[in-house]
Amino acid sequence: MTKLTNLPAWQQLQQHYEDTKDIHMREMFAQDSQRFEKFSLKLNDILFDYSKNRVTQETMDLLLQLAEQSDVAGLRERMFSGETINHTEHRAVMHAALRNKSEEPAYANGVRIDEEIKTELDRVKFLAEKIRSRHWLGHSNQPITDVVNIGIGGSNLGPLMVTEALHPYSIHDLEIHYVSNLDENHINNTLESLNPDTTLFIIASKSFTTQDTLVNAVTAKEWLMQKLHSESDLHKHLVAVTSNVKMAVEFGVKEENIFKMWDWVGGRYSLWSAIGLSIVIAIGAENFDALLEGAHEVDDHFRTAPLEQNIPVIMALIGIWYNNFYNAESIAVLPYDQNMHRFPAYLQQADMESNGKGCDREGASVDYSTGPILFGEIGIASQHAFYQLLHQGTKLVPADMLAPISNYHCIATHHRALMSNIFAQTEALMMGKTEDEVRAELTQQGMPEKELEDLLPYKIFPGNRPTNTFLFYTLDPKTLGSLIAMYEHKIFVQGAVWNLNSFDQWGVELGKVLARNILDEINTATPVTNHDCSTNGLINYYLSLKPIKDPN
């Protein structure tokens, strides 16, 4: 395979960057009144406007050539057809099969999987319906009022994000809680107001070996046992989702209460599987089907639309333009929908655990920049927090803005003000405010000359700050499914161009191994000397004070 930086399109893009880097987007818009029509795409309810980017038609053509020369389409086909593209773990990558309701058979690594997917989804829906209809009873014959999902990473962020985002579609006499943190505050705070008689725990862990989840699961079991007295009642309060059925059974979960997932679903791509059990309990089977349908439509679009009309492809290429040619270090994801408040955190794992890598698919170190630092928050709140840096800081931070045109419970006064803000921000970031404009404005306000000249530099906005805008009719299950799948495939395309395996995560292992060793050392409570002097110092300081804080 030709090295990425040797590809003709890469080299042409480098030259093109030099030729165009000083052109302001103001000029681009002034020269082309059709820019919005030219650089926006629509898929069902979702409008994707990418016209406020530092791109010309030539930029887009070269980026599309880069996608072709790095054979994005080839890897895409290998993924959809179930080949082992996660080569370091010998796994296929088949999350798209989880949302494919067609009668077509699906295969992972040559093994048929669609029937198993359907069986497991039916089991999930059956359990969810039993809980929602109050037919699932706890040990004292009371219906379940609270469900606690214990899991971390992909076994937490996806379900949590979707449950929050689809709050208006959720059942309201049932509370869904999420516990992920090993810090006991998380489970303590959650259990504080719960009643073991009416609480059901979902232990969600693909591997069933994750320390954080298992420690929380043990605490949950002990909390239940204080009230239950007999282990034989545990199954009324404990279910699991895992690909490691043996470990779940050993932990004490009844086999019939275990929902299966498979090694061909990556943790961060797993909300569509039984890991989404808490989502189905919250929003019901029909809404979950709509979520799957929305994602499936994007899978079809991604697989079949020409590259130049392919939303995930365009999202990815624009990201590469800034990441690799402008050397932008980060991207911001800024939803203008309060219910999407966990969307940036969810995408942080999806993107950074997938493409935060420095070794290519052939095992060589890359000599180009890969996955960006992704951060974000609710747009409106961020305007009053970090947008200052976006507007006038020295760093280039390309941003994605997302907003619903209407809301489930729409209050026109709120919503119009909200929309005016998103439009204003993308315009301000792009246009900025020139020295002449500031001077004219302050003069008109009657500001004395000296004061005006002193203040002037602070009031200039350079502009030329790129944004993508996603507008969708309302954040319903189908639209949310589509948005998530767009980002999943964006990440895929970037990984394909950067020649990464986006589906392993070896980088999380070292810390886990060291933590296990250090836990043994802490348990023996004798001062340590085998680490670097900083780590020795910290552990020994902790051990010296531990008796005060931790009588155990």
Report the alpha-carbon distance of residue 51 to residue 59 in Å, rounded.
12
Interface with ligand F6P (CB under 6 A), residue from 152, 234, 248, 399: 152
In the complex, minimum distance from the CB of residue 95 to ligand F6P, in angstroms, rounded to a whole number? 12
Under rule CB under 6 A, which residues in 471-510 are in contact with ligand F6P?
A: 505, 508
| Cβ pair 46, 109 in contact under 8 A | no
Count of residues of this chain found to bind ligand F6P when the rule CB under 6 A is applied: 15
| Cβ pair 135, 142 in contact under 8 A | no
| Cβ pair 466, 399 in contact under 8 A | yes
Interface with ligand F6P (CB under 6 A), residue from 51, 53, 56, 155: 155
- Residue 158 binds ligand F6P (CB under 6 A): no
Interface segment toward ligand F6P; rule CB under 6 A; list 50-58, 148-156, 362-370, 491-499: 148-156
Burial 5-38 (b: 16+ CB within 10 A, else e): eebebbeebeebbeeeeeebbeebeeeeeebeee
In the complex, minimum distance from the CB of residue 151 to ligand F6P, in angstroms, rounded to a whole number? 6
Helical axes 157-165 vs 277-304, angle rounded to 10°:
90
Q: Which of 353, 377, 488, 490 is catalytic?
A: 353
- Residue 335 binds ligand F6P (CB under 6 A): no
| Cβ pair 400, 470 in contact under 8 A | yes
State the SS3 of 92-146. Answer: CCCHHHHHCCCCCCCEECCEECHHHHHHHHHHHHHHHHHHHCCCCECCCCCECCE
Interface segment toward ligand F6P; rule CB under 6 A; list 150-158, 309-317, 491-499, 523-531: 150-158
Interface segment toward ligand F6P; rule CB under 6 A; list 147-155, 317-325, 354-362, 424-432: 147-155
Residue with Cβ nearer ligand F6P (168 or 252): 252
- Nearest to residue 251, comparing CAs of 275, 224, 226? 224
Residue with Cβ nearer ligand F6P (266 or 319): 266
Interface with ligand F6P (CB under 6 A), residue from 213, 310, 370, 501: 213
| Cβ pair 265, 95 in contact under 8 A | yes
- Nearest to residue 314, comparing CAs of 127, 471, 486? 486
Interface with ligand F6P (CB under 6 A), residue from 190, 199, 205, 383: 205
| Cβ pair 139, 228 in contact under 8 A | yes
Interface segment toward ligand F6P; rule CB under 6 A; list 96-104, 117-125, 199-207, 380-388: 199-207
Q: Is position 353 annotated as part of the catalytic site?
A: yes
Handedness of CA 104, 87, 486, 176 (dihedral sign): positive
In the complex, minimum distance from the CB of residue 157 to ligand F6P, in angstroms, rounded to a whole number? 8
Q: Which of 229, 384, 409, 450 is catalytic?
A: 384
Under rule CB under 6 A, which residues in 217-276 are in contact with ligand F6P?
A: 267-268
Q: Is position 509 annotated as part of the catalytic site?
A: no
In the complex, minimum distance from the CB of residue 194 to ligand F6P, in angstroms, rounded to a whole number? 22
State the SS3 of 33-95. Answer: CCHHHHCEEEECCEEEECCCCCCCHHHHHHHHHHHHHCCHHHHHHHHHCCCCCECCCCECCCH
Residue with Cβ nearer ligand F6P (72 or 258): 258
Q: How far is CA 299 from the centre of its chain?
A: 17
- Residue 91 binds ligand F6P (CB under 6 A): no
Q: Is position 296 annotated as part of the catalytic site?
A: no
Interface segment toward ligand F6P; rule CB under 6 A; list 43-51, 79-87, 146-154, 219-227: 146-154
Residue with Cβ nearer ligand F6P (143 or 252): 252
Residue with Cβ nearer ligand F6P (276 or 404): 276
Interface with ligand F6P (CB under 6 A), residue from 35, 52, 54, 206: 206
- Residue 348 binds ligand F6P (CB under 6 A): no
The one-letter code for the residue type at 290 is A
| Cβ pair 261, 277 in contact under 8 A | no
Report the alpha-carbon distance of residue 70 to residue 320 in Å, rounded.
13
Interface with ligand F6P (CB under 6 A), residue from 154, 276, 312, 477: 154
Task: Provide CB contacts within 8 A for 250, sequence distance 6+.
Answer: none
In the complex, minimum distance from the CB of residue 374 to ligand F6P, in angstroms, rounded to a whole number? 16
The one-letter code for the residue type at 13 is L
Could you tell me how many helices (H) and strands (E) the chain has, helices first? 21, 13
Q: Footprint of ligand F6P on this chain (CB under 6 A)? A: 151-155, 205-207, 210, 213, 267-268, 353, 505, 508
Residues with catalytic roles: 353, 384, 512
